[in-house]
Amino acid sequence: MGSRFGGVKQVQPVGPHGELIIEYSASDALRAGFDRLVLVIRRDIEADFRSTIGARLEQHMAVSYVHQELTDLPSGFAPPEGRTKPWGTGQAVLAARSAVKRPFAVINADDFYGASGYKKLADHFSTAPGYAMVGYPLRQTLSEHGAVSRGLCGTDGQGRLKRITELTKIEKAPGGARYTDGAGRQQALTGGEIVSMNFWGFTPAVFPQLEALFRDFLRKSATDTTAEFYLPTALSALNENGAARIALLQSTDEWFGLTYREDLSAAQAAIKRLIATGRYQAPLWG
């Protein structure tokens, strides 16, 4: 919804020829072997998305649209009075369950992930049927213009994700970063910690698992007008109870997103620099 950005971030031009971030993501995914795009959107902005993002991407790949809606809940549940927003990233993935029948990636449409993550995920799917997450070093994901929230990844020592711990109010600091814990105390981070940027690989087997966790979430939080069913939290729960094994893949590419309005000029400069230095390829249709 772009509340901190001040508008719909996904339609902001960031490339030297007016490219959108989602165009770079779609092109990188196509190069890696993905062949279809499912956009999870609000019903009321579908027309705008079709005329902007859809009009650009439908020329190059199959595009479907599904709606994340406040009322898309399991039987027996209803939105609480006063709630206006959908239920978070876990529900967003569930919204695509009717449109996705094969192994798939999940990304944020307003984040630039670089090309290597898609290649690593495609290679993973070619050799293993399990889930995966593409993580990034924390220092590559911080904003110069304000605090961010990140999911800190713990591993089992064998290349698999063990848990994700959600940290809020993370800011750059001399020598690394810092965050404010639940008691209001500032804690130091090195910047080298691997964090989740909502770049996942799943098979359709994840949908019934998410549905069960969503029911559990609603039993505890259905009357809360702001609680969100976070995808990293749901996957961390599946991982810890042994219901899923998640390979942790690491990208060394630059990541950047549009959290604040001030992030836009930095994103535009970063893409221009990456292309100019040969570290990144323009979209296939550029």
Is-contact 116 140, C-beta < 8 A?
A: no
9-130+200-276 under CATH 3.40.50.10540, yes or no: no
The whole-number pLDDT of residue 68 equals: 96
pLDDT (tens digit, 9 = 90+) per residue, 240-255? 888 999 999 999 898 9
pLDDT for residue 9 is more than 80: no
**Mean pLDDT within 148-177:** 88
Which of 182, 195, 281 has the alpha carbon at shortest distance from 232?
Answer: 195
pLDDT for residue 53 is more than 90: no
Is-contact 247 133, C-beta < 8 A?
A: yes
> pTM of the entire structure?
0.89
Helices and strands (H, E) in the chain, number of each type: 8, 12
Neighbours of 168 (CB within 10 A): 12
Is-contact 177 189, C-beta < 8 A?
A: yes
- Mean pLDDT across the chain: 89
Where exactly are the structural domains of the chain?
9-130+200-276
Q: Which helix (H) or strand (E) holds 116?
A: helix 116-127
Lowest mean per-residue pLDDT among 36-40, 141-145, 178-182, 224-228 = 141-145
Q: What spatial distance separates the first Cα and last Cα of the chain, rounded to whole Å?
A: 28
pLDDT for residue 4 is more than 60: no
